[in-house]
Amino acid sequence: MRGMDPRIARTHQALREALMELARERDVDEISVAEIAEVAGINRSTFYQHYRDKGVLLADVLDAVTQEAMESVTVDLGPAELRQVLLRYLTHVQANLTLYRRIFSDAVSSGVQARIRERLEGLLLSRTDHGQGEVAGLPFPVAAASITGAAVAIIAAWVQAEQPAPATQVAEWIWQMVRLHEALPDQS
């Protein structure tokens, strides 16, 4: 949002917050654009000046959440700090479990799932010098894609569980998977 007109940024923020507020109460499919606009304090035509539909707004919401979690990520960030970034993101997912259940259960949401995966992969790639180097003998971009795919699968299974584990436990599952990936011996 850097360089964005402050009025546009405020409108986007109001719309994202409105969707999240409504999504805590019921399924996104049951929420109309008119309701989102009303909660955001704008009219419907203003909504359509900024977003094609509520699916694009939902993707923007998830991008903003992931971006916020990633803002503190730098190349020199240590494992403990990186785990905290992951935990902040998973805590958000847990607080909005109904929304994420919908995202991970609906084939229509596959584009949103892909954006989540891309953002998480960006988080991993940002930890290296433009994705150079290797992890467990794999080029880092390949390892990042593998780790991210597994992390998204873990999150999907978590949000679909009848009794979801706490975010702290899920962070540990993902972290163990990352450590396993890094520790795999070369079997050639």
145-167 pLDDT, tens per residue? 888 888 889 999 999 999 999 99
Percent of the chain with pLDDT over 90: 28
How far is 140 from 142, CA to CA, in rounded Å?
5
**Fold adopted by 58-183:** Tetracycline Repressor; domain 2 (1.10.357)
What distance in Å separates the CA atoms of residue 10 and residue 147, rounded to the nearest whole number? 35
Q: What are the residue ranges spanned by the domains of the chain?
A: 6-51, 58-183
**Are the C-beta atoms of residues 44 and 23 closer than 8 Å to each other?**
no
Q: Do the bridges between strand 134-135 and strand 138-139 make them parallel or antiparallel, or are there none, so unpaired? A: antiparallel
Is the model's pLDDT at 20 over the cut of 60? Answer: yes
**Mean pLDDT, rounded, for 97-125:** 75
Fold of the 6-51 domain = Arc Repressor Mutant, subunit A (1.10.10)
Q: What does 1-62 look like in DSSP terms, one character per residue?
A: -TTS-HHHHHHHHHHHHHHHHHHTTS-GGG--HHHHHHHHTS-HHHHHHH-SSHHHHHHHHH
